[in-house]
């Protein structure tokens, strides 16, 4: 990445983050490109407080307390030290930050966040049939879509009024589907120990199981998109998966030391190949949606490319390049252990989250999310551009 571009993006991210504490109320600026509301669906990448209202357990039971939210004056249910990509997008559009749907007393004038940390694209029943059990939440994409329909039914008087409301809205459908694969991997990977060829074999078995899910996961996202478009959505963003072979939780859990398993970015090549497989199928689905709904803007957000740009330009973007694949908060190898995840006894947080790409081994830091949002929504990594910036 060009050094000046990297520095510019890093500065933009820091400025955005620094401006948030004074901008938590009503929108202070004119909205951009006629967008007056955002409706968001997804998982922990964009959940602003739904899971904590479901009383989380398991790996995410600690998100309701410090050090989560340490850079925004306390925990809010966001899986980070601070704000998320969806927050940066809302702020840039001149809108208030999205309130979680399960906060029944919240103001939803400018949109609603239906995302739930731990959520899946497939229903609990569909995953159970595959032998994959879920412990974090049952609020899968179909549940979130029902919430959306219930909300629209309770705040409008007709389908035409819903269409009018959606005509000036940005709809964010994901990231969703990553947890379907996470649970498939956890189903076959060892919880601890393992070595050498054993771990390579387990990873291959995990990838095979996850690959079976790809058509169903992508179809679930496409079906939800069709329902939203049929209801009147005209601006829809569908993100792809991250390069999961670069994420500390995967690197630590795989516990693989064979250098031939890693690519030039220091990431597990088989896992990244799987993520690209999912993304290729999702792109095909997006292309089909565009043909079926030619009047709508249906954008693909390339999270895979954005994350790799962050890693490759880490130093220029203000990160510590030597710790780009290590979590700020946690314990163990890559500073991630499922049994001592961020917030758990025995886990600790770094003093400088802004120097890290990863916050807790699964989710990114506020700084990283700010840079990602800049790359995706102003830097051309969402195609076609869903927002015309002034």
Active site residues: 44, 360, 363
- DSSP lists the bridge partners of residue 6 as none
**Gap between the Cα atoms of 132 and 139, Å rounded:** 16
Judging by beta carbons within 10 Å of its beta carbon (0-12, 13-18, 19+), is residue 19 exposed, middle or buried?
exposed
Give residue for tokens 């059990």: 133
- Alpha carbon distance 91, 275 (integer Å): 30
Residues in Cβ contact with 157 at an 8 Å cutoff, skipping those fewer than 6 apart: none
Spatial distance between the Cα atoms of 245 and 247, rounded to a whole number of angstroms: 6
Return contacts of 381-386, CB within 8 angstroms, 24+ apart: 381/301, 381/302, 381/305, 381/306, 381/309, 382/237, 382/299, 382/300, 382/301, 382/302, 383/299, 383/300, 383/302, 384/297, 384/299, 385/299, 386/170, 386/235, 386/236, 386/237, 386/297, 386/299
Task: Report the C-alpha dihedral over residues 323, 325, 326, 328, rounded to 10 degrees.
Answer: 80
Tell me how crowded residue 262 is: count the other CB atoms within 10 A of its CB: 18
Report how far residue 286's alpha carbon sits from residue 278's, in angstroms, rounded to the nearest whole number: 12
**Tokens standing for residue 90:** 């809302």
Pairing assessment for the beta strands 235-239 and 169-173 based on DSSP bridges: parallel
Give Cα 299 distance to the centre of its chain.
16
Which pairs count as long-range contacts for 159-168, CB under 8 Å and 24+ apart, including other chains? 159/231, 159/232, 162/231, 162/232, 163/231, 163/232, 164/232, 165/37, 165/232, 166/39, 166/228, 166/231, 166/232, 166/233, 166/234, 167/232, 167/234, 168/34, 168/35, 168/36, 168/37
* DSSP H stretches of helix in 178-313: 178-188, 196-231, 248-254, 269-292, 303-312
């Amino acid at each position: 990445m060009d050094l000046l571009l990297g520095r510019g993006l890093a500065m933009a991210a820091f400025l955005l983050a620094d401006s948030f504490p004074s901008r938590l109320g009503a929108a202070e600026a004119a909205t951009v490109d006629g967008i007056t509301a955002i409706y968001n669906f997804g998982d922990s990448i964009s959940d602003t407080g739904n899971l904590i209202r479901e009383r989380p357990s398991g790996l995410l039971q600690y998100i309701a307390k410090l050090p989560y939210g340490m850079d925004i004056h306390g925990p809010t249910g966001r899986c980070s030290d601070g704000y998320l990509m969806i927050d940066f997008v809302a702020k840039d559009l001149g809108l208030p930050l999205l309130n979680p749907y399960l906060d029944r007393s919240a103001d939803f004038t400018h949109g609603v966040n239906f995302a739930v940390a731990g959520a899946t694209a497939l229903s609990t029943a569909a995953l159970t049939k595959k032998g994959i059990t879920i412990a974090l939440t049952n609020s899968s994409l179909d549940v979130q879509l029902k919430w959306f329909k219930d909300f629209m039914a309770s705040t409008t008087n007709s389908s035409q009024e819903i269409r009018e409301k959606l005509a000036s809205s940005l709809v964010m459908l994901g990231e969703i589907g990553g947890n379907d694969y996470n649970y498939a991997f956890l189903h076959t990977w060892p919880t601890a120990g393992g070595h050498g060829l054993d771990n390579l074999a387990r990873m291959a078995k995990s990838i095979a199981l996850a690959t079976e899910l790809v058509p169903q996961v992508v179809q679930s996202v496409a079906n939800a998109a069709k329902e939203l478009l049929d209801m009147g959505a005209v601006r829809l963003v569908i993100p792809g998966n991250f390069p999961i072979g670069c994420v500390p939780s995967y690197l630590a859990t795989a516990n693989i030391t064979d250098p031939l398993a890693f690519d030039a970015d220091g990431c597990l090549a088989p896992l990244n190949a799987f993520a690209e497989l999912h993304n290729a199928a999702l792109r095909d689905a997006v292309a089909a949606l565009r043909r079926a709904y030619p009047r709508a803007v249906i954008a693909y957000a390339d999270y895979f490319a954005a994350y790799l740009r962050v890693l490759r330009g880490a130093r220029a973007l203000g990160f510590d390049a030597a710790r780009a694949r290590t979590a700020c908060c946690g314990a163990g190898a890559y500073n991630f252990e499922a049994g001592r995840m961020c917030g758990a006894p025995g886990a600790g947080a770094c003093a400088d989250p802004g120097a890290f790409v990863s916050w807790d081994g699964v989710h990114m830091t506020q700084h990283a999310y700010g840079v990602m949002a800049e790359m995706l929504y102003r830097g051309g990594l969402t195609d076609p551009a869903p927002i015309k910036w002034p």
